[in-house]
Structure 1
Amino acid sequence: MTDQTQTTIVGQLPTPTETASRVPRTLTRLVWLLWLASLVAFVAQFRSGEPWALPGLAVDGLTTVMWVTVTFFSGIVHSYSRRYMAGEWAVDQFFGRVFAFTLIVMVLVAADHLALFGIAWLAMGLVMAGLIGHANGWPQAEAAASLARRYFLGSSASLAVALLILWWDTGVTTVSGVASAVDSSPAVLAAAGALLLAAMIQSALVPFHTWLLSSMTAPTPASALMHAGFVNAGGILLTRFAPVVTVDAGVMLAVVLVGATSALLGKFLKTVRPDIKSKLGCSTVGQMGFMIVQAGLGFFSAAVTHLILHGFYKAYQFLASGSRVEHGSPTGTTGDGTGPLGLAVVALTALAGGALFATLTGKGEGSGLLLTLLVVLTVLQAARGVVVRADLPAAVRYGGVPLVALPALAVYAGIYRLIEGALAGLPAVGQHAALTPVHGLVAAAFVAAYLAVESGVYRHSTRLYVALLNASHPASDTLLTTTEEYDEY
């Protein structure tokens, strides 16, 4: 046991009653009202096609899309937390922070003044750090919050440098003004690099992923909000400042390379983590890498679509993480899946999925071929994961795979087209990067990584395993080291 003195908070959680604090219920209702208002704003703005100018704000397609997204995720987290956080001594503080985070993000995605954008970015990080360290008196939570706060301050400092450079070089103080004033000058290239660094830190890309993997001290609803909404801010930043990012082909290539590196390493890091939440954290590192790759290729609408769908998936995964813990022993229900029929089903489903994706989204040429390849590899992995399940009927293993994968890709294409239409008025979002030999090397790296993971060949290297384990290890002072501490905190 530790020498900390604190009232134990573990035990049967009471069901919320009318005599409990009204803050959770009030804020939950308010956030769902915000979601309904955001839906109305999205429809109205989509029909008008013109941004609404307000003092310091510009409500455009990206703004309303993100309003709908963040208020929906926040509403889910608020509703879930009313039961999950019942009995918590600081429940009002928790709900206040979650609601404040929601409002700050809504301001961020609408901010047109450079100073307001920077202030909202800083505030967003500080509130999230508070959620990570919500458990008062828990040394590990305080250490995790302190670590995250340092990273977020670094991200805010990098963003501040970028905004100051843009203001100094262009003489304008608004995001919309920057879009029409930038050119390919050394100052703008430096600003683009600072923007990329801020996005990398906030989205927990390698090597800045430690803060995310150390944040598991946060209450599970806060982790869901973090992985579903907070880490996606890097994609929003690059999309909002697309005219700066696309000003030079070298900058775009750098964005692709840093995103691809994180996507590949996130996939490998996930394979060595023993617990569910850490696996989800490593998965987020990889998925945010994919998002940045899409932005680097100039498919900003695809990046926004990816962050929204990833948010839905990851919010569900975290809120349902307790049910993912299995209490049992291996049953031997996994086959090898290498029979001729299995191989044919997997290969044909992946190829058909890639063709459908390219046809419906228009990414069948140029740099879009790289995204199509990534879709093929993703479908290959998902299809093989079902085909090897010997406990499933043959009709499900072989016939159900294409019947699920292909309609899912069609749904994705529909959402992508909707987002693409909403973002059509944003400057530079349609400037796709030209395909280069470096993109070919990135594609080869993804194929090699897929083969290495699926074949398990990388497991034969003890040195590689240790390197991956060290790279995915949270900060030591954020970890519980004795079983008794779980009951104390």
Structure 2
Amino acid sequence: MSGRTSKPTVGALREAGESSPVPAVLTWLAWSLFAASVAALVARVRLEGAWELPGAVAVDGLTVLLWVVVTFFSGVVHSYSRRYMAGSAHETAFFGTVFAFTLAVIALVAADHVALFWLCWLAMGLAMARLIGAVDGWPQARAAASVARRSFLASSALLGVALATLWWATGATTVSGVAASADGLGGPAWFVAAAALVLAAMIQSALVPFHGWLLSSMTAPTPASALMHAGFVNAGGVLLTRFAPVVTADATLMLAVVVAGATSALLGKLLKTVQPDVKGELGCSTVGQMGFMIMQAGLGFFGAAITHLIVHGFYKAYHFLSAGEEVELGAPGEEDRSGTSAVGAVVVLATGLAGGATFAVLTGKGTSVDSGLLLAALVALTTLHAARSALRQTALSPAARYGAIPLVFLPAIAGYALVYEAVSSVLAGVPMVSAPTELTALHALVAVAFLAAYVATETGVHERSERLYVALLNAGQPAPETVLTATEEYNEY
């Protein structure tokens, strides 16, 4: 292609003796950190007392739990990348950046001083932007990295405003100190801090309308995408959990968080329907799932948000790392598009309701008139959706599917409820892990609107509007400068 100035970045595989030792060493270190994190989690569960460096670092249940999750994903990504990045001119830099990102997250979840917390948040974003533009000789990759970097810098700026305002309003220089002084917050200072925290979380978790950076990040190497979707985007939930005493100070703000999450959950599902490629679909799925996570935080169940980000992390890491296989093999099976029979509809509805009831009984959420009812309803809706999708698969006869659906999904929901309880027990001592809000007419209105939009989507009503289709197609497009517009650009030579 004329005018090309980029250098070839991938060549023949190096001989074993010529390989850099950096990938092997960093992979070993990543798995060593995972082993150490598991030991720290066990010790934290068994031992009481504070683990802290006063004024700088505080290790609690949330810290050690996220250490285990992050280091596990990092170990998997390091191991996967040993072959994926072999022969790349950027191999050593890639491994160094992934490991630096891991260290930034490890430090972030342990940071207690607000300045250290902010620096780790900034470093985490800059490292991820570098991974998105890992191939520096690729103009589209550089453009995608620039788009992401601008978003992450905006998130860091908002977080800086929030932390500076909280320091000014409370006099506390630590996250724990801010949490302890949150009861006295109010007025314009609280509003500025809380709004900035929520917006920073929304940008980092790629909620609508800040999802553009995520959809523009497909230039990232697949293992970097797995780390991004399994770990990085979850930072919004971690931020809201750390500063839960600030966010929960006003019921109106919490309702606004629910609305923001619900909007992103629905639009993520809709945007997924117009994506032509596997990674694009996974990206929109992440937008929707992060919406559900933020919804749970807005309902006051921060333990549920942490559980959701852990489960979603495993799910999305697997799908990104196996995306190539999915492209090669195609769809796993045909779907029945003829519609759901009356018997099937009854089975799906009964399974969804039973799933919500199972979650409520095992966790106690949804057994009283508060936002726990909406949390249990979300579980029921998720179960219903999964059951309906399974019913469409034609690999089994209808009778077999009707019997298999409750036998598969109800134990799965019971397992999820037990994981939620286990996570909540580890988080004991973290402020506001569970802070259910009082149900209001506005909550009911949001729930009805969400359900109506969801039913309309499931029944295909949205497909009848050409205007909506075009709007979704436009909203789901990455930044133009990050897209390859000619097939010749795929040729490095």
TM-score (norm 2): 0.95
Counterpart of 1:4 in structure 2 is 4
User: Tell me, what secondary structure is at the counterpart of 2:393?
Assistant: coil
Query: Are the equivalent residues in 1 in contact too, given 2:266–2:454 (CA < 8 A)?
Result: no
Distance 1:133 1:445, change over 3 A: same
Counterpart of 2:432 in structure 1 is 428
Q: Does residue 117 of structure 1 match 2:117?
A: yes
- Distance in 1, Cα, partners of 2:27 & 2:3: 37
Distance 1:259 1:487, change over 3 A: same
Superposed displacement of residue 418, structure 1: 1.0
Q: Describe how 1:169-318 pairs up with structure 2 within 5 A.
A: 169-182=169-182, 183-186=184-187, 187-318=189-320
User: Tell me, what secondary structure is at the counterpart of 2:153?
Assistant: helix
Distance 1:16 1:241, change over 3 A: farther
Superposed displacement of residue 368, structure 1: 1.2
- Distance in 1, Cα, partners of 2:372 & 2:432: 16
- Distance in 2, Cα, partners of 1:93 & 1:329: 35
Superposed displacement of residue 450, structure 1: 2.2
Superposed displacement of residue 385, structure 1: 1.4
- Distance in 2, Cα, partners of 1:446 & 1:257: 9
Counterpart of 1:458 in structure 2 is 462
Q: Does residue 47 of structure 1 match 2:31?
A: no
Query: Are the equivalent residues in 2 in contact too, given 1:114–1:173 (CA < 8 A)?
Result: yes
Counterpart of 1:368 in structure 2 is 372
Superposed displacement of residue 235, structure 1: 0.4
Instruction: Give the % identical residues.
Output: 64
- Distance in 2, Cα, partners of 1:352 & 1:398: 15
Query: Are the equivalent residues in 1 in contact too, given 2:58–2:112 (CA < 8 A)?
Result: yes
Query: Are the equivalent residues in 2 in contact too, given 1:373–1:443 (CA < 8 A)?
Result: no
- Distance in 1, Cα, partners of 2:108 & 2:330: 46
**One-letter code of the match for 1:109?**
V
Superposed displacement of residue 43, structure 1: 1.1
Counterpart of 2:326 in structure 1 is 324
Query: Are the equivalent residues in 2 in contact too, given 1:367–1:432 (CA < 8 A)?
Result: yes
User: Tell me, what secondary structure is at the counterpart of 2:78?
Assistant: helix
Query: Are the equivalent residues in 2 in contact too, given 1:335–1:390 (CA < 8 A)?
Result: no
Q: Does residue 414 of structure 1 match 2:418?
A: yes
User: Tell me, what secondary structure is at the counterpart of 1:247?
Assistant: coil
Query: Are the equivalent residues in 2 in contact too, given 1:16–1:82 (CA < 8 A)?
Result: no
Q: Describe how 1:38-117 pairs up with structure 2 within 5 A.
A: 38-55=37-54, 56-117=56-117
Counterpart of 1:147 in structure 2 is 147
**One-letter code of the match for 1:30?**
L
Superposed displacement of residue 5, structure 1: 3.0
- Distance in 2, Cα, partners of 1:449 & 1:10: 47
Q: CA RMSD in A?
A: 1.8
- Distance in 2, Cα, partners of 1:303 & 1:24: 33
- Distance in 1, Cα, partners of 2:382 & 2:355: 10
- Distance in 2, Cα, partners of 1:102 & 1:171: 31
Aligned residues: 488
Query: Are the equivalent residues in 1 in contact too, given 2:10–2:87 (CA < 8 A)?
Result: no
Counterpart of 2:20 in structure 1 is 21
**One-letter code of the match for 1:406?**
L
User: Tell me, what secondary structure is at the counterpart of 1:58?
Assistant: strand
**One-letter code of the match for 2:438?**
A
Superposed displacement of residue 335, structure 1: 4.5
Counterpart of 1:470 in structure 2 is 474
Q: List gaps (5 residues or longer) in structure 2.
A: none
Superposed displacement of residue 8, structure 1: 3.7
Q: List gaps (5 residues or longer) in structure 1.
A: none
Query: Are the equivalent residues in 2 in contact too, given 1:10–1:487 (CA < 8 A)?
Result: no
Query: Are the equivalent residues in 1 in contact too, given 2:230–2:314 (CA < 8 A)?
Result: yes
User: Tell me, what secondary structure is at the counterpart of 1:283?
Assistant: helix
